[in-house]
């Protein structure tokens, strides 16, 4: 018996229902805030979610396309992946950008951080702006079948706003980047790219 508190919940026990190298699913027997018995399942992530809103010299944004197994559909997304919790998020972002696009960025800045789905997971996301890109070779993981295209930011924003792009990190980065540019809170080269007609 755990017999501890998490906010207004009393936790009676914790049992790992499933675990693999990326996630652990924990079933918590709890007493709800109203005093009733219940359970709370939590997916614990072993990596930080990493995302990159990058701009090439022409002000175009690389998008990565891949078929997503859980949804059984093709998805266009900004470069993203997972970073080990014991490695600086920026280092993981540099690796992900290079692996998925081949680009190496000379300039980086924080974009946003958020909880991905806090009702059922503890997954956190850390996202970055990247610019001053230099081309190189991609190195996707063997489990990934990726394609890449580049678009103007306005097109990316339209794809997000009309629901053609639904990936949560891409939606969050696109909207956060747009608002930061409107407020002048993004680096000057990013503001120029985002606010260009």
pLDDT of 79 higher than 70: yes
pLDDT category at 105 given cuts 50, 70, 90 is very high
Q: What is the pLDDT of residue 23?
A: 96
Q: What is the pLDDT of residue 196?
A: 87
Lookup: tokens for 187: 């680096």
Q: Are 56 and 104 in contact (CB under 8 A)?
A: no
H runs (alpha helix) in the chain: 89-101, 153-161, 168-182, 188-195
Rounded distance, CA 8 to CA 34, Å? 9
SS3 (DSSP) at 23: strand
To the nearest whole percent, how much of the chain has pLDDT over 70? 97
pLDDT of 139 higher than 80: no
Question: Whole-model pTM?
Answer: 0.92
pLDDT (tens digit, 9 = 90+) per residue, 150-168? 999 999 999 999 999 999 9
């Amino acid at each position: 018996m755990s017999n501890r508190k998490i906010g207004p919940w009393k936790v009676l026990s914790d049992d790992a229902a499933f675990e693999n190298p990326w996630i652990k699913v924990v079933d918590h027997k709890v007493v709800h805030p109203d005093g009733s018995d219940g359970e709370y399942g939590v997916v614990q992530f072993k990596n930080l979610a990493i995302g990159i809103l990058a701009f090439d010299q022409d002000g175009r944004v690389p998008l990565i396309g891949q078929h997503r197994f859980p949804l059984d559909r093709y998805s266009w997304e900004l470069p993203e992946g997972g970073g080990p919790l014991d490695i600086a998020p920026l280092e993981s972002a540099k690796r992900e950008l290079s692996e998925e696009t081949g680009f190496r960025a000379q300039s980086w800045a924080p974009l946003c951080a958020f909880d991905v789905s806090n009702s059922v997971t503890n997954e956190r996301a850390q996202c970055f702006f990247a610019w001053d890109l230099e081309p190189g070779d991609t190195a996707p993981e063997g489990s990934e079948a990726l394609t890449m295209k580049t678009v103007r930011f306005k097109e990316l924003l339209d794809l997000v706003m009309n629901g053609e792009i639904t990936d949560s990190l891409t939606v969050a980065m696109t909207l956060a980047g747009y608002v930061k540019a409107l407020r002048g809170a993004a680096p000057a080269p990013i503001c120029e790219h985002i606010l260009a007609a």
